[in-house]
Amino acid sequence: MGNTNEPESREPIEPIIEPTIEELFYKSEFHRGEQLEQRLQQLTNSGETNGFYEREFMVASREIQNIFKRDQCPLTPEVIKKLGLNLYGEKKPTIQYTRFYLKKRKINKSGQQGKQTTQKDDNIGDETIQLPPSSPNAWKPSRQKIVKIVSDEEAVMRDTCQNVRALLNKVTPTTKRLFIDTFLSYNISSNKKLLTEVVEIVLKKAFADPIYCDLYVQICQAKAAQEMLLTKKSLLKDSILTSIEENFQARKVDPKIISSINREPDLEKREKMKLVENQKFKEKRFGLMTCIGYLYFYYLLDKLQVRVYIRETLKSIAPRRLNENQRRGIIKGNVNQQEVFYGLHLLEFVGKRLDSDYKHVFLTDLFKQIKKEEHGLSNKNLFKFMKLVDLREDNWKQRGLYRLRPRTIEDIRKEVERKTHKKKQKKEEK
């Protein structure tokens, strides 16, 4: 027969797939880690460490940690279980916990690359990490919260409250004019519920941050003046004064909070929770007195109302009358020292204004009364009262900063210039 054109039968050639740079990198790192582990084992077996971590041993172990992301757990599994952390399930973990994963690609018979898979190192074992369940009341940002379908009125109220809260968080002495104009654009008095919520937000911030209380009261004073010009009546001012009166009358921790604390079975934890709540209440009370002082300073409170607040806080050091001619002295153990301190703190704020409003008569009589009963004061309140007496004799000229307020850059510069000027004067005198 002649020559045929039939092709000779050949075996199929498998495609050669070269490893990627990422695969080569992981393989080299893994190989380097194995070499370092062998070197550590040699150092440990040879006894060259002499009971100490020498330089070569430390360098090798540090490089292993960087390559394998490996670290030993400082607690034993028994201690972890006692703490209530079931991180490893029912199976016991190995001695070392390696978090190194060698990436490989599945190669099909046709030579196509499949999806990337992650293969675990043999040193890890089959431990499964179980995280503790999250709290149902855990905080979430507003963008992650499930938006409920509400009416247009409630949506406007929610947005207004969020804007007011953001405004109070950002206001500073240098930008207060801009934020006051923004606050004036909100029609918060159109809805009684909205007005109550806004007042609650403002007062809560004022009580928590007494240093910024000055700015918060200035914003409210501008809004109240706007309402007086438009309607000759300020609903914001009335709501603030009502809320201030309610907070002033609450002189103890909320009974609901105490009852919830008492349901705690752990006695030690219960006592700690009570201490925390008492400290929060004291801080809130101090912020309340500061807010009352600023409200009076910006003419949102009347002098008669401030006088009542001062009398109420200092009521425990007022002597009681037995009859028209005799009075019974006070006992130090019966004096509410904390309320007295708040009253003296309020006097430090409003003393100068009260002296000008009452022609020095009210504070003169009040200081005489406190002077007679000063034996019932604690050392802290006694020094506070002595400071007030000195301030009044010095025409209420405060040393340093007059009120609790945030400091601007100009205040800091002036203080630095004043200090440098004093230093120059001292050098010139020497």
Residues 247-277 pLDDT 10s: 999 888 888 999 999 998 888 999 999 999 9
Is the predicted pLDDT of residue 54 greater than 70, yes or no? no
* Per-residue model confidence as pLDDT tens digits over 398-418: 765 445 677 777 888 888 888
**pLDDT at res. 143:** 67
Of the candidates 417, 414, 315, the one whose C-alpha atom is nearest the C-alpha of residue 370 is 315
Band (126; pLDDT cuts 50, 70, 90): very low
CA distance 412 to 344: 28
Cβ–Cβ under 8 Å, residues 166 and 130: no
Where along the chain do its domains lie?
21-44+54-83, 153-322+332-394
**pLDDT at res. 14:** 54
Of the candidates 209, 223, 116, 99, the one whose C-alpha atom is nearest the C-alpha of residue 160 is 223
Ramachandran class of 112: left when φ > 0, alpha when ψ lies in -120 to 50, beta otherwise = beta
Is the predicted pLDDT of residue 135 greater than 50, yes or no? yes
Q: pLDDT above 90 covers what percent of the chain?
A: 33
> Domain 153-322+332-394 maps to which CATH number in 3.40.50.300, 3.10.580.10, 1.25.40.180, 3.90.1310.10?
1.25.40.180
* Per-residue DSSP letter, 115: E
**pLDDT at res. 117:** 42
- As a whole number, mean pLDDT of residues 209-215 equals 90
| Global pTM value | 0.63
**pLDDT at res. 383:** 93
